[in-house]
Structures are given as C-alpha cells and as structure tokens.
A and B are shown apart, each in its own frame.
Chain A
Amino acid sequence: MTLFIQQLFDGLALGGVYCLAAIGLTLIFGVLRIPNLAHGALYMLGAYVTYFFLVTVGVPYVAAIGLAAVVLALLGVLMERLVFHPLRNAPHTHHMIAAVGAMFFFQAVAQALWGADFRRMESPISGSVTILGAQISWQRIVIVGTAVVVLGLLTWFVKRSIHGQTIEAIEQDRTGSSLVGISPSRVSMLTFGLAAALATVAAGLVAPINLLSPTMGDALSLKVFAIIILGGLGSLPGAVVGGFALALAEVMTSTYVSAAAGEGIAFVVIVLVLAIRPTGLFARAVQR
C-alpha cells in the first residue's frame, strides 16, 4: 500500500510534467496542424537553460525557470519564423522533416555547450513529507502544484484574453477566423512561444529529479504525441487528462510489470489508439 501511494505521487508529478509539455504540442498541432517533432528538443533546451541560470549565473530556482521560459519562448518564436513559416503551404512531410532537422540542431547545440555527459541539477527545494506512510518529496508536490497553477492561468488566458481567444478561434475554424481579421501569422508565433515556454517550465521542474542530457527530450517527444492522440488533438482538457493517465500508466507498469514495459507503454498507446480510431480518439468521425 505504501509502495502504491509512493508510485501514485510519482505518477502525479510525472503527469504534471507531461501535461505542461503536451499542452504546447497540442496547441501547435491543433492550431497550426504542425506535428512538431522538435518539441522534445525544446523541452531539453529548456532544462539546460534553466540549469545555466541556476548553476552558472546563480539566480534563484523560480527565477531561473522564469528566465529560461522567456529565452525559450523567444527561441520558439524564432523557430516558427525561420522554419515553419516559410513552409506554411508545404506538404506535411516537409514540416516533419524540417522539425527533425531542428531537433538534431538543438541536440548538437546542447552537446556543444554542455557536453554529452549527464548533469545533475540540485533543487533548492529539499526534504519530504510522509503521507500515509509514503515519503513524498517536496519537489514532487511543487511540480503538481505548479502544473495546476499554470493550467489555471492558461485556461484563464484562453478564455479571457484577446490573444488566447484568438488561439481558440483559430483552433476551431482556421479560415473563418482569418476572415474576421485575426492575423494567423501572429497567432502562429504566439502559439510557438507559449508552447516552448510551457515545455521549459515542465523541464525546469523535473530536472532536479531526473538527470540532464542532450537526448532527454527524445522519448518525451513521442510520449507527448501519445498524450495528445489519447486526449484529442488541440484539446486542452484532453492533454491534461491524457498527461496524467499516461504518467500513471507508465509509473504503475514499471513498478508492477517491468521497466521496459513502462518505457514502451506510450508507444503501445499510440499504436492501439490509432489502430482502432485512425484519426485519434476524439476526432470527429470521417464518413465514407
């Protein structure tokens, strides 16, 4: 029972990370129809930039994550302008290939700047509490708390602010919204910036638990794809539910089945969901 509680909290913390990372991807895919395979690489860079501000510059943890999020948001916008904007009318294969190029580049940058070795990032948040006999580290509680707060802010942003409403409008009807004078170009940049910033927050939060490496984003890329396919493309609530569901499934499978099974479950989810519903779980049915 103690083990279960322990794993439950681990799963919730991981779920928080997955949600934050998946929301960005689901926005980019839902709004812009770009399956951004470089999303995991942005997450990885976010972790390293946080590390840079925390360890090299020496600013406080929360400020380091904030600064890194700003840096990555700018990078996300830059990537949209340089890579995806020129390809906006190209076939989807071109988007994906370009994203792979960007992914390779980001990994090489991280390796050039920080080396290929694993790095550890100490968190100033230490200690743990005992809940029902299980030791839960404060870091994990902070992750879950932050995820909830950020999700709340995001919901508010999408529902209340002009830019947020624009994203939602475009997501629902691309052509319609360009008719009423919303610039798809600005929304596109905004979406990429927001997505990169959210991935950075996720990476900055999880970095003290996991180790940093230039390839840490590889598996995450596919896992977040599993989440948004599970939760429905472009759906924020779907990304949240899918994120927690996949994280819990992973943690429980690694604990009670095997580590390899836990690692593979995301890919099995993709294959199973798409085998049964080729357009994703919550997509509108396509009639023949």
Chain B
Amino acid sequence: MTLLEVRGLGKHFSGLHAVDDVDLDIAEGRITAIIGPNGAGKSTLFNLLAGFYRPTSGTVRFHDRDITGMSPHRTVAHGIARTFQTTKLFEDATVLDNVLSGRIVRSRSTVFDAVLRTPRHRREERLNLDKAMAALEFTGIAGYRDEIAASVPQEVQKRVSIALALATEPQLLLLDEPAAGLTEEETVGFAQLIRDIVADGITVGLVEHRMSMVMSLADHILVLDHGKEIASGTPDAIRTDPQVIEAYLGADHADQEGAG
C-alpha cells in the first residue's frame, strides 16, 4: 500500500528548478531510497515532503490525505519525521533531554497542567520518559542518556538524532544521509539499525550517497538528476540503467552544489 504519494512535485528557487515534476510512491513498510549526484535536488525533495519548503507545483498525499505545503509541525503530528544531513541536536542538552524533546508533539498537557501538576501532566511525563528511554534502547545508546549531546562521539550523535525522530512516533521516517562521515564499520551498524526500524513497522525514506548501502537496503530507488527523475525501480534495475550510469559518470565533472 502506498503511504506517501507524490505527484508532479516542483520547487523553483529564483529561476532554478531544484525539483522539477517529480512523481514518487513510498510503499508502506519498505525502504525507498532517493539517489543522485550532488545538486540533484534530493535534500530539497525531503524538505518539500517534510513541509520545510512550500512546493511551487504538485501535490503530496500521506495516508490519502493532502499534506501539500503543510507546515512541519503538522506533518510531524501526522507521522512524518526527518533527520538532517548535517546532524542537528540540542547540543547543550543531555542525550535524554534531546530525545524527550521529540515527545513534545505527542504531549497534550498545557502550561496550566504543568503549574497545577495535574494527574494528566504527571502521567504524561512518565509516559514520555518511557517512550524516550525506549527510543534510546532501540538505537543502542541508552548508556549515554546523561551525557551532553555535543560531547558524545559523532556516531552516537547520529543515533541520537534518529532516536529523537523516533520519539515523535512517526509512520514515515526520512533519513537524510544517515551514514555521511561514518566509517565502513559504523555504516554496517547503521544499515542494521535502519532494518530494525523497518522491522518495527516504520516506513523509511532514505537519501544516501553510499551506493553499497543503498543497493543492499532499498526496496525501491528513485534517481534524480538536476531535479528531474531519470530512473525509478528496484536496485537491480537501477544498477543496469544506462541513464543512471551516464548521470553518475557525468557527475564526476559537475560542480558541487549546496542544494544536493
């Protein structure tokens, strides 16, 4: 079943077509990867799906509900979580407090509950702590709970950012280059974590540079170049697609672009 359905999605930045007429179906319970050379529009596409950018054309449907142009705090509430290419964390806070922040969107108690310490408030705080700890256990970093986020190793930081996203209880998790900057060994661990996430019933969207990781993980791959779809299919089909090979060879000569 299709969880997220994208039709004709486009985003123009003052003349530049960062994403142009893209169609994409993300199937529930699967891993869908988006690949392409630098500047192909992968991150822009993610930003459009998560509501960080407002598309200039096209539609995004999630669970058969139109979420086109919906702002991020609502897309998260509907069940879409994301991580960033450069790991973003609340750096001065502990790992646990970081992950607890992910519970904000699922919390119902108001400032009055907090002031009056109503049963609802206490119940919710306990639930939040349990859920946050569960996310830490799941990502294998429970031992770091009281450490300051900025002081833990980079690999742990990346796991924290995933735990933070998981704490929002998403149905669709968008991971933007989760393995960037990791060693070969750490990447293997991350691939396993992503498999665990899917086994847990969460659909994953993945932007990734490492072809080995994408090819072994993804059920479906969308290839973008210059904001346009050039291929779409199973890993085996993509591996032999002449247009993809062409784009990747050409990409060696292309300039680096921030939008990538």
Contacts and interface: CB of A to CB of B under 8 A. Distances in A.
Interface of A: 285, 287-288
A288 B52 contact: yes
Nearest to A287: B13
Contacts of B14: 285
SS of B interface (majority): loop
Interface residues on B, range: under 10
Contacts, number: 6
Interface of B: 13-14, 52-54
A52 to B, nearest CB: 47
The list of the 3 closest CB pairs from A to B, nearest first, reads A288-B54, A288-B53, A287-B13
A287 B19 CA distance: 14
B178 to A, nearest CB: 25
A287 B18 CA distance: 13
A105 to B, nearest CB: 30
A287 B13 CA distance: 8
A288 B56 CA distance: 10
Contacts of B53: 287-288
A285 B15 CA distance: 13
A104 B246 CA distance: 65
B63 to A, nearest CB: 24
Contacts of B13: 287
Nearest to A284: B14
Nearest to B11: A287
A169 B253 CA distance: 29
Nearest to A288: B54
A171 B52 CA distance: 28
A240 to B, nearest CB: 27
A173 B14 CA distance: 20
A287 B53 CA distance: 7
Contacts of A288: 52-54
Contacts of A287: 13, 53
B173 to A, nearest CB: 22
Nearest to B69: A288
A284 B168 CA distance: 34
A191 B14 CA distance: 33
Nearest to B18: A287
B41 to A, nearest CB: 14
Contacts of A285: 14
6 contacts: A285-B14, A287-B13, A287-B53, A288-B52, A288-B53, A288-B54
A149 B168 CA distance: 62
A120 to B, nearest CB: 53
A288 B70 CA distance: 11
